[in-house]
Amino acid sequence: MIQMKNVYKKYPNGIVALNGLNVEIDQGEFVYIVGPSGAGKSTFIKMMYREERPSSGQMLVDGKDIAKLKNRKVPFLRRDIGVVFQDFKLLPRLTVYENVAFALEVIEEKPQIIKDRVMEVLDMVGLKHKAKMFPRELSGGEQQRVSIARSIVNTPKIMIADEPTGNLDPETSWDIMNLFEQINATGTTIIMATHNREIVNKLRHRVIAIEGGLIVRDAAGGDYGYED
């Protein structure tokens, strides 16, 4: 599903974020990406949806070579990848329903299918009754659930989450993790960068630790391993 070979990333300001990284992630896996801030986690995550491009090395996502992907092809890559962020990234002027529907409008889906599918995923994340509300009227946990609904609405093969529980209280975080578990159970690959030790240690999955732009640890069912 995702293959990285000697991926190297140097930013224009001279900082080397990834220093020859090798990794392989299979379809259906649930992977935590851990590591100190500034270790290259964000760059690693951003490369998956081609926000950043490798300076050298090979990187395949769902069979597409990210390094060689043309700019105008990027939207089509992103339609196969769901993204969830710490700050939710919802469109503030659109309602809950419209935010989720947007991902389907982008692929020019038929209105009737959009309607059915959006209500289906809103039901799944438990926000069907808040479909007409605006993001600012929702709690953080609810907003994150909307963004999850949006990321899975067109059934992507891969879901990428960058600190999805970073802004949420522990209880809400567990609700969100339950959703991720459900989504993973349907066969979706989940790659999640996190600083949440409790979650990583309780919900055991593969853990990849990145430090200094390199993978320093890669263990199936591993623990968080840091003291923050």
Applying CB under 8 A, which residues contact other proteins?
A: 49, 51, 72, 75-79, 83, 89-93, 102-103, 105-108, 110-111, 150
Is the CB of 75 or the CB of 126 nearer to other proteins? 75
Is the CB of 80 or the CB of 223 nearer to other proteins? 80
Output phi, psi for 85, to 5 deg.
Answer: -120, 165
Q: Which DSSP category does 26 fall into?
A: -
Q: Is 128 helix (H, G, I), strand (E, B) or coil?
A: helix
Is the CB of 77 or the CB of 203 nearer to other proteins? 77
Least separation in angstroms between residue 50's CB and other proteins is 10
Least separation in angstroms between residue 202's CB and other proteins is 30
Q: In what order do the strands lie in the sheet with 16-25?
A: 16-25, 2-10, 56-61, 64-65
d(CA 145, CA 142): 5
Least separation in angstroms between residue 225's CB and other proteins is 30
Q: Is 156 exposed, middle or buried (0-12, 13-18, 19+ CB in 10 A)?
A: buried
Least separation in angstroms between residue 121's CB and other proteins is 14
Q: Which residue has the tokens 């986690």?
A: 41
Is the CB of 51 or the CB of 120 nearer to other proteins? 51
